[in-house]
Amino acid sequence: MDGTRPGEPAGSAGPGDAAAAAGVTGISVTNPDLPGPGATSPGGTRIGRPAGRLRHAEHVMGTVFSFDVPASAAPVLPEVLSWLHWVDVTFSTYSGGSDVSRFGRGELTLAECAPELAEVIAECAVIEEQSDGYFTAWPGGRFDPSGLVKGWSIERASNMLSAAAKTGPSGTGPSGTGPSGTGTSGTGHSVNGAGDMQCTGEPERGRPWRIGVAHPLHPSALAVIVAGRDFAVATSGTAERGPHIVNPHTGLPATELASVTVVGPRISRADAYATAAFAMGGAAREWAESLDGYEVFAVAPDGASWQTSGFAAYTVPA
């Protein structure tokens, strides 16, 4: 996660203002085939799709989480959304009263915080070691696990959807490719948090997810399209927010790459690896080859690109 942070002040980017300006609020294309309107929430809008699919956009953590799920997931969606808002509050580095802020100031012990914080810190430590410190929960010496929290919460939200699909009345198993889909629609889902996503199963029977990777230099183009089932895609870059990923070893903004995309099984790792690789710059290429189970595609500021040896397995013709 490189741009947005849990608990980021709303300001002009607040859900209300942004939604109104964007026309997000008020758009509700209903589909008679879908379950009742139980999955709407103040932060988002539910939009129906045909053939048993449903999309939902939720404003949370200073950004938007986009859900593309089977209609059968509608009953569990509110719980997932509530959980994301809880993460927002608990892990906010902007709210002085959050567990993360109080822990960072030494006012709470780890045992006094939500147990999820210990889980996040442990995961941060693993990635910090793997990345030679280019990923850290202590940027500039201040405790800030934000670099992991979004990817971790995307993954947890996806897991909640998978668990519900497995145990629910229309359970289809964790891969989401079971036989109970409606028509040709798939039973997989994707959770896309500000451009980083976890995908399960298939969006449509017999077809993998197709994810466009935005070209960091040409807003009118995709750099590449990747496809897969049960995989994660994360991209770190500067497109909207300008240089803001700092190399923790120099304290300076990373500028050697325009964007880094990581594909692999888990979004919590893929997202953190993308952030670390972006901070590494040119040195990321060799490091990326060493990652087990994850493949990397990067674009340099001059438009040149490189990819790890296994990345081609994910690419598809446009």
Partner 1 sequence: MRRVVLALGGTVAGLVMLLSFRSHMASTASAGVTAGSGGTGTSPGSGSAAGSGSSAAPGAGAASAPVSKGSGTGTAVTGDAIATPYGPTQVQVTLNAGKIVKVTVLQHTDDGINSQMIDGHALPLLNNETLTAQSAKIDAVSGASYTSAGYIKSLQSALDKASA
Site for partner 1 in 263-302 (CB under 8 A): none
Structure tokens at 161: 């959807």
Spell out a b/e string for 89-124, using b for 16 or more CB atoms within 10 Å of the CB, else e. Answer: bbbbbbbeebbbbbbbeeebeeeebbebbeebbebb
Give least dist CB 100 to partner 1, A: 19
Calpha distance 6→89 (Å, rounded): 7
Among 6, 39, 68, 123, binds partner 1 (CB under 8 A): 68
Local structure of 131: helix, strand or coil: coil
DSSP string, 212-271: EEEPSS-TT-EEEEEEESSEEEEEEE-TTT-S--EETTTTEE--S-SEEEEEES-HHHHH
Tell me phi and psi for residue 142, to 5 degrees.
Answer: -105, 135
Applying CB under 8 A, the span of 60-68, 77-85, 87-95, 174-182 interacting with partner 1 comes to 60-68
> By CB under 8 A, what part of segment 140-159 binds partner 1?
150
Applying CB under 8 A, the span of 57-65, 84-92, 96-104, 156-164 interacting with partner 1 comes to 57-65
Tell me phi and psi for residue 200, to 5 degrees.
Answer: -125, 150
Site string for partner 1, 228-267 (x = CB under 8 A): -----xxxxxxxxx-----------------x-x------
Give least dist CB 156 to partner 1, A: 18
Give least dist CB 214 to partner 1, A: 3
> By CB under 8 A, what part of segment 170-229 binds partner 1?
190, 192, 194-197, 199, 203-204, 207, 209-216, 218-222, 225-226
Applying CB under 8 A, the span of 49-57, 74-82, 97-105, 288-296 interacting with partner 1 comes to 49-57
Residue 130 engages partner 1 in binding (rule: CB under 8 A): no
Give least dist CB 284 to partner 1, A: 16
Which of 167, 159, 208 has its CA nearest to residue 72?
167
Calpha distance 153→57 (Å, rounded): 15
Distance of CA 142 to the CA centre of its chain: 24
Applying CB under 8 A, the span of 56-64, 96-104, 137-145, 306-314 interacting with partner 1 comes to 56-64
> By CB under 8 A, what part of segment 86-115 binds partner 1?
none
For residue 210, what is the enclosing H or E element?
Answer: strand 209-214
**Cβ closest to partner 1, residue 241 vs residue 249:** 241
Among 35, 42, 50, 293, binds partner 1 (CB under 8 A): 50
